[in-house]
Amino acid sequence: MAPITIILTAIGLSMDAFAISIASGITIKRNRFRHAIRIALSFGIFQAVMPMLGWLLGISIRDLIEHIDHWVAFALLSSIGIKMFYESTKLEAVEEKKDLLSFWVLILLSFATSMDALAVGLTFAFVNISIAAPAIIIGAITFLISLCGVYIGDKSGHFFEKRIEAFGGIVLIIIGIKILLTHLMGSG
């Protein structure tokens, strides 16, 4: 997989965390740098670990589905992308009463936003991609994007939140189609 594809995948995966980071920036009173770092680290770590777990699972079953792996990769990425796009059309806001900096709330949000990364790790195993570099890239990009998201939320509010999630979904759908077409056309 080309490095640009991995970077685009990382950006697509980070959009859920980015949207929540924006919401966090909106709701946290007296936003401080340590708050933004805490949020970004939590999202970044989960987004780096979950693809590795998905990849390990995928490696264990890859031989069983080798003849349809490109279809599975396409279905997983497309369904994640469609889900992200659909969720971006809902008008839900993070409740202001929740303490987004509490350990358990942050862990639950990080886990919830990284489930897509688990599925992508599974996909990487099916298309025979080593996971170390993509996991680091996904985690680092999510960290940086989440860090920026907290500050964007602090300054601009909800305006971009849903549009960003829709963009991430579209990126993942396009990557899924690319994997499928590459395999079907015999280029990969």
Domain extent listing, the chain: 8-184
Percent of the chain with pLDDT over 90: 28
At residue 68, does pLDDT exceed 90?
A: no
pLDDT single digits (tens) 8-38? 999 989 988 888 888 788 777 776 888 899 9
For the chain, the DSSP string reads --HHHHHHHHHHHHHHHHHHHHHHHHH-TT--HHHHHHHHHHHHHHHHHHHHHHHHHHHHHGGGSGGGHHHHHHHHHHHHHHHHHHHHHS-----TTS-TTSHHHHHHHHHHHHHHHHHHHHHHHHTT--SHHHHHHHHHHHHHHHHHHHHHHHHHTTTTHHHHHHHHHHHHHHHHHHHHHHHHTT--
pTM of the model: 0.74
